[in-house]
């Protein structure tokens, strides 16, 4: 029997050779699929725009150190201050999404992001710069995880994990945009220009979400405290939280100090690098997007725990080597940095998707608040510990940079150990 299809009509020829025509349903794209893509694109775009000021200080760190006479420890405080603000605010702001529509929290926080990003033009030293970066971190606390909550509440089924992967990968795209804007626009009109532009980008992100994302009523649940501690009872949630903290410690130490590392590499070898530090940072960050998305796909294929443990240990081993790249030819150092950027981000989306999968739906906002708080505690400590290590061993010595990167790798190993611990507990429960 032969078959052919033509514009909603199915034709086949029976055993006698006569053509028989059967009207079939027209092929159309499911409405839910189109809505899923629209919401994912909307929130990913808004996230990217809202992060335009994210890397302003890191991209111009050598310039700010010279301008304000900052030590490496002070620079680490300002670089980590962004995440300090995030860490202090995220338990409350993300926890509120279990009581109120995450969209509402997102909109107010994006307005704060716009003010804090543009307000950095008034910074004139350590304390004022730290203040504006803390406020910007509070803004991110009300947009990143609440945005993820808004996304996960509006998408169900198998599409949810992939939408989360794209959303978390957009964090890297926003960071890359920020490095590029800060580094290139500062050359044209000073560091105040990218600061003002990042505030305008945040306002555009606010407008996109305000007009593009419909409100969604919060599902009723039993009354609970604003700081809900129920997720602390889940060993799996705690393991993902610690793993995320170590992931962020490594990731944001790299992003905070990569531009300065490229500058040091040029000074150490007595050459002018053929690619500026901001461009290296932008490339390293952009690589993180496909790495994060592909990492989540591989986790779905081979098992999330197995993938996370393997890739995090691989990144820890590479961290011990990458700091020595400053003594190697520039192209070798660049390859090492980009390879390291792949391993650093290959676990990102899979960690977040894993947390969402193990958190009870009724306490998902609280679990995400705990996850984000512990995660960005690591993001705060990473740049600070990196800078303290450089001050202790010398930022003009290869030993100092090697030790700083190696310390990040050593601390990272706590993450896969926590995931292994949680996995062993689940295996024990399954046998009972």
> Contact at 8 Å (CB) between 90 and 376?
yes
Q: What is the value of pTM for the model shown? A: 0.74
Residue with tokens 């300002």: 78
Residue 17: what pLDDT? 45
Residue 376 is assigned to a structural domain of this protein: yes
What distance in Å separates the CA atoms of residue 259 and residue 273, rounded to the nearest whole number? Answer: 12
165 shares a domain with 98: yes
Q: Which domain holds residue 85?
A: 35-214
Closest Cα partner for 262 from 35, 10, 42, 58?
58
Residue 287 is assigned to a structural domain of this protein: yes
> Contact at 8 Å (CB) between 319 and 405?
yes
Residue 220 is assigned to a structural domain of this protein: no
256 shares a domain with 201: no
313 shares a domain with 337: yes
336 shares a domain with 289: yes
Tally of domains in the chain:
2
Phi, psi for residue 375 in degrees, rounded to 5: -60, -45
Residue pLDDT, tens place only, 225-249: 555 555 556 788 889 999 999 999 9
Last residue of a domain, one of 214, 249, 276: 214
Residue 430 is assigned to a structural domain of this protein: no
Residue 293: what pLDDT? 82
Provide CB contacts within 8 A for 131, sequence distance 6+.
123
> Contact at 8 Å (CB) between 329 and 260?
no
> Contact at 8 Å (CB) between 48 and 173?
yes
417 shares a domain with 375: yes
Last residue of a domain, one of 159, 185, 214: 214
Residue 128 has pLDDT above 90, yes or no: yes
CATH number at residue 128: 1.20.1250.20
> If you average pLDDT over every residue of the chain, what do you get?
84
What distance in Å separates the CA atoms of residue 133 and residue 127, rounded to the nearest whole number? Answer: 10
138 shares a domain with 94: yes
**Helices marked H in 190-329 — which ranges?**
192-212, 235-269, 277-302, 304-322
263 shares a domain with 358: yes
303 shares a domain with 248: yes
Q: Name the least confident of 15-29, 57-71, 180-194, 405-419.
A: 15-29
**Selected residue with higher pLDDT from 131 and 17:** 131
Length of the chain: 432
């Amino acid at each position: 029997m032969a078959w052919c299809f033509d514009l909603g009509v199915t034709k086949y020829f029976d055993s006698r050779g006569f053509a028989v025509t059967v009207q079939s349903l027209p092929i159309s794209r499911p409405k839910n699929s189109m809505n899923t893509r629209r919401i994912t694109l909307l929130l990913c775009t808004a996230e990217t725009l809202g992060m335009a000021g994210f890397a302003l200080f890191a991209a111009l760190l050598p310039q700010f150190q010279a301008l304000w006479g900052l030590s490496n420890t002070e620079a680490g405080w300002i670089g980590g201050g962004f995440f300090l603000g995030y860490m202090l605010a995220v338990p409350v702001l993300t926890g509120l999404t279990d009581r109120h529509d995450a969209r509402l929290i997102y909109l107010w926080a994006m307005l704060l992001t716009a003010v804090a990003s543009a307000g950095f033009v008034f910074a004139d030293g350590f304390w004022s710069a730290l203040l504006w970066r803390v406020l910007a971190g509070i803004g991110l606390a009300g947009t990143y995880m609440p945005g993820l909550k808004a996304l996960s509440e509006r998408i169900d089924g198998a599409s949810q994990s992939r939408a989360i992967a794209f959303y978390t990968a957009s964090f890297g795209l926003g960071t890359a945009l920020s490095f590029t804007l800060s580094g290139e626009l500062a050359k044209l009109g000073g560091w105040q220009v990218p600061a003002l532009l990042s505030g305008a980008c945040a306002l555009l992100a606010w407008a996109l979400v305000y007009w593009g994302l419909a409100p969604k009523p919060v599902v009723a649940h039993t009354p609970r405290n604003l700081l809900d501690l129920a997720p602390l009872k889940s060993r799996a949630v705690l393991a993902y939280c610690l793993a995320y903290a170590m992931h962020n410690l490594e990731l944001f130490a790299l992003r905070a100090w990569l531009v300065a590392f490229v500058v040091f590499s040029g000074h150490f070898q007595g050459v002018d690098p053929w690619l500026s530090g901001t461009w290296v940072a932008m490339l390293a960050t952009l690589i993180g997007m496909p790495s994060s998305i592909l990492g989540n796909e591989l986790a779905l294929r081979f098992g999330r725990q197995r993938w996370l443990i393997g890739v995090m240990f691989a990144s820890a081993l590479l961290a011990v080597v990458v700091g020595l790249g400053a003594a190697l030819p520039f192209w070798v150092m660049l390859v090492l940095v980009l390879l390291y950027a792949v391993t650093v981000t290959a676990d990102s989306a899979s960690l977040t998707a894993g947390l969402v999968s193990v958190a009870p739906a009724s306490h998902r906002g609280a679990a995400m608040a705990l996850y984000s708080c512990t995660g960005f505690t690591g993001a705060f400590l990473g740049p600070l510990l990196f800078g303290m290590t450089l001050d202790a061993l010398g930022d003009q010595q290869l030993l100092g940079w090697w030790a700083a990167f190696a310390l990040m790798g050593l601390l990272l190993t706590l993450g896969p150990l926590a995931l292994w611990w949680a996995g062993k507990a689940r295996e024990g429960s399954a046998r009972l």
